[in-house]
Each structure stands twice: as structure tokens, then as C-alpha cells.
Amino acid sequence: MKWLVIAFALLGLTLISVERFAAEKKLTGNEIKSTRSGYTVRFKAWSGSTGEISYKSDGTMEGKKDSGHSDVGKWWVKDDKYCRQWDNWRSGDWHCFHIFEIGDNKYKDVRIDGGRTNIIWMIK
């Protein structure tokens, strides 16, 4: 009986993992553009910082952390990846990300070089 309970518990965890994985949809380049260009998004970074980024259709962006720090930069889409470069944040280095839809109007970005993940969601 004990083994049956354990088996059902493991099956339940497997189904939850499969459902969660299936719920994440990797965005195409056009989908990335349509969820960024002209929008302001709210973010929560892996470091714990939170704030907003406004993406303009001309490829520029403005970011403001809730702590009051702000920066400007540029963004672009290349080969179904979202790329960005801040003037000061992240030492001015550019990074590219895969974007995944993880829920209703909620997204996460995953750096293609294996860096940290941020959670972002739209607020327009």
C-alpha cells in the first residue's frame, strides 16, 4: 500500500512538471516584437530588483528600477531572440535572450549564454 501511495505521488509530480513545461511557449521574433514594441513591462530580476522598462518602436528603451535607478539603452530582435544593451546597467554589455510565455500576459527571459532568468509581465 505504501508503494502505491508513493507511485501515485510520483505520477502526480511528473504530470505537474509536464503540464508546467508544456505551458511554457517559446516566442518567435515577431511575437517578441509584438509583446515589446510600444509597451511598458514590469520586471523582477534574478537579483531581486523590480521596476519597469518602456520599449519604443524605434529600438530604444528606458528602464527604471523601483529603487530609483534608471538607464536607457537599445533593444532588437535577431533570429527569434530578444537582445538588449543598456548604457550603464549590466556594464553596458549586450545580451540576447529566448523569451518564453509562462502564463497569461507573463513572460520570462533566459539568456542564451546560460545567464540568469528574469520574470517580466506586461502592464502597458
**CA 107 – CA 34 distance, rounded (Å):** 13
Single pTM value for the model? 0.76
pLDDT at 103: 92
Return the C-alpha cell found at 1: 500500500
Q: Which segments of the chain have a pLDDT < 50?
A: 4-5, 7-21
pLDDT at 1: 56
Structural domain includes residue 67: yes
Structural domain includes residue 3: no
Q: Say how many domains are in the chain.
A: 1
Structural domain includes residue 12: no
Structural domain includes residue 2: no
Identify the helix (H) or strand (E) that includes residue 17: helix 2-23
pLDDT at 44: 92
CATH of the domain at 60: 2.40.128.280
pLDDT at 20: 46
pLDDT at 106: 93
Structural domain includes residue 77: yes
Containing domain of residue 80, as a range? 26-122
Structural domain includes residue 17: no
Phi, psi of 70 (to 5 degrees): -135, 160
Contacts of 36 (CB under 8 A, 6+ apart): 55, 75, 82
